[in-house]
Chain A
Amino acid sequence: MTASPLLSVRDLAVEFRTGGVVTRPLDGISFEVGRGEVVGLVGETGCGKTLTGLSVLGLLPKGATIASGEIVFDGAHLHDLPSAELRVIRGRRIAMVFQNPSTAMNPVFTIGTQIEQVVRTHLGLRGRDVRDHVRETLVAVGLPETERVLRSYPHQLSGGMLQRAMIAMALTCGPDLLIADEPTTALDVTIGAQVLQLLRRLQEDRGFSVVFVTHDLGVVRTVTDRVVVLYAGRVAEEAPTVDLLTSPRHPYTEGLIGAVPRPDRRGKALTMIPGTVPADPGRVAGCVFADRCPIAVDRCRVERPELRQLGPRGGRVACHLASGAVL
């Protein structure tokens, strides 16, 4: 990684207030994204991966606030920025692609109108230049029949085409960072493969950084350089993708990988992680995974494990019991 990462999230905690009750769905998330790097945010439902992405964009849902920590993007502290300045960064320098393109787009405007609006707002182009710029982007994402797509409303396009249009809209201002939240989950396998291939090609050509939010370890293997595994609002482990998938250090990561059906274990029992995620992980004093962990000891239940560097290759793990050696 270069000396100054493009994005640095440090000790981020997010709180929700509902009624008088305060919950903490993110509790001390830290990770960095280098320039040109593709980082996966991985975890299961409720682990906080989507919320982390939204925090970076300053798009937290109502009732949620950043309780502590900082988000630094290219030297700017995003959480301190006035909203007018944040708007300049969001959309132009940081863009997002959502899981479900048909709900992320506005149904009453054509694709052309929506992308043109982004271009006018952020690039200040006018007239013919706007149309030309949008057309170029659509061609770059491999959408055939550019004119028809521009005139179409979201419901008139297939899921795959709409996701390409969404990617075009995200990339049209040439962002430095793309946050992609499960961009292929709602698509069929053969269409998802096209979209992944497209994202990989565009990323290689243009060199932007990507935070790729996903639950799918196969997708992680395909597109990411490095992975951050989240569990119950905390970082469990972080490592280069292949290292993490082949020699996980955190018992949760190991369980997650063991749960995926794989050809060499056809018909054999899959690894099961007993129990469930704690209801309010913010109140757990020790390790949030201790109750489900096959190797937990007393210390795990009382003392919270900090993320610590393990081995020379730059992996970090939040587990008292992980050793430098490969498990």
Chain B
Amino acid sequence: MSGAQAPERMDTGSGSPRLILRVQNLTREFPSPRRGQPPIRAVADVSFDVREGEVMGIVGESGSGKTTLARCLLGLIPPTAGQIEFDGHDLIGASGQERRRLRRDLQVVFQDPVGSLDPRLSVRDIVAEPIRTHEPGRSVTDDDILPLLEEVGLARGHLRRRPHELSGGQCQRVAIARALALRPRVVVLDEPTSSLDVSVQAQILNLLTDLRERHGLTYLLVSHDLSVVRHVTDRVAVMYLGRIVEQATTEELFRSPRHPYTRALLAAAPSVDRGAGSALAQGDPPPAGALESGCAFHPRCWLRERLDRPEICASTSPLLIEADADHATACHFSDHVMDPLEEVTA
């Protein structure tokens, strides 16, 4: 195991909100589809903290491990190694009963709003389901459900509808109402708007922002969409092939990214204001499990090319080091990434 450590948390002193989620050295492996090959590490040694009331973003492309990470946090799959602490309690080692209690406070909204709702159930039953599961014996009435629907912008008329009678945006509102039914403290948002049109996305993002302010929720937003992440998060971790390569406050990360992958990602995203930047990262990422040593990004790294291919990038996996308060980077040469983006992409 490489020695990447959790970037030292700033201070626990006055004014700093309490930790609600702490992930330490989390690793999840899957058996290789090829016999005799070592397992594939979908998430490798990932550590980060989430403070109460903040919106933490996990950004990455296909194969970055962001969804596997979310599934581990939700207890849908067990991690291979590492710890997850929720509000000071060990989430992985917890007994079944305790885990159930903790899971009440940790809910999720998935990407596919239609597919994540049971097509046979009415909106009322979908939203009631978590309450019935966690409070067996309690009778759930329309009076329990209606306020939840109203909070997400739906009305009494939607109670009896089934998912196929609703639009994608309405389904996502139902999924949000279901996630809020148990009054959780943390909601994991797994690509909550990626299958929606931009005008509907705007409605859902505005709604999520309102709900957070109203209920003091903490969000963990998993997304590939940089504009969404930039719009709603306070802090961001960028993942590439299972590892966190950079982590910073959102403002800082978008203003002065220090990892060449982050910089390539920002440059690649087409923007309404300036069009697309350039394709800094060339080629495809290597297939899962193909990379034996070194920095995961080194085969595509533009900075390494520029520095005449230093050997260390191919031989040694860089540690995630917090050079400044709340800005950690895993790159041997992050000092060289600092030129303004325009110069790099010119």
Contacts and interface: CB of A to CB of B under 8 A. Distances in A.
Interface of A: 44-45, 144, 158, 160-161, 188-194, 196-197, 215-223, 245, 255-263, 265-267, 269-273, 276
B315 interface: no
B16 interface: no
A178 B187 CA distance: 44
B338 interface: no
13 contacts: A190-B265, A192-B270, A193-B278, A196-B270, A196-B279, A221-B272, A221-B274, A221-B275, A245-B272, A256-B199, A260-B227, A270-B202, A270-B206
B254 interface: yes
A144 B284 CA distance: 11
B290 interface: no
Interface of B: 61-62, 167, 197-199, 201-203, 205-206, 209, 224, 226-228, 230-232, 250-251, 254, 264-265, 267-284, 300
Nearest to B266: A189
B221 to A, nearest CB: 12
B70 to A, nearest CB: 18
A222 B278 CA distance: 10
Contact of B281 (A190, A217, A261, A269): A190
Nearest to B170: A276
Most buried by A among B199, B275, B282: B199
B277 A193 contact: yes
Contacts of B271: 218, 221, 262
Contact of B232 (A215, A267, A271): A267
Given A191-B284, A219-B276, A270-B206, 12 more contacts: A188-B62, A188-B224, A190-B264, A192-B268, A193-B269, A216-B270, A218-B227, A218-B272, A261-B227, A265-B231, A270-B231, A272-B199
B265 A189 contact: yes
B230 A222 contact: no
B265 A262 contact: no
Contact of A266 (B231, B280, B281, B282): B231
A268 B228 CA distance: 12
Nearest to A161: B284
B191 to A, nearest CB: 13
A280 B199 CA distance: 20
Contacts of A45: 197
Nearest to A221: B275
Contacts of A257: 272
A158 B276 contact: no
Contacts of A219: 270, 276
A217 B272 CA distance: 6
A88 to B, nearest CB: 35
Nearest to B207: A272
B282 A194 contact: yes
B62 A193 contact: no
B272 A260 contact: yes
Contacts of B264: 190
Contacts of A273: 199, 202
A190 B284 CA distance: 9
A300 to B, nearest CB: 19
Contact of B202 (A220, A221, A272): A272
A257 B61 CA distance: 25
Contacts of B203: 272
B231 A261 contact: yes
Contacts of A194: 279, 282
B114 to A, nearest CB: 13
B228 A261 contact: yes
Contact of B230 (A218, A220, A263): A263
Nearest to B231: A261
Contacts of B273: 221, 262-263
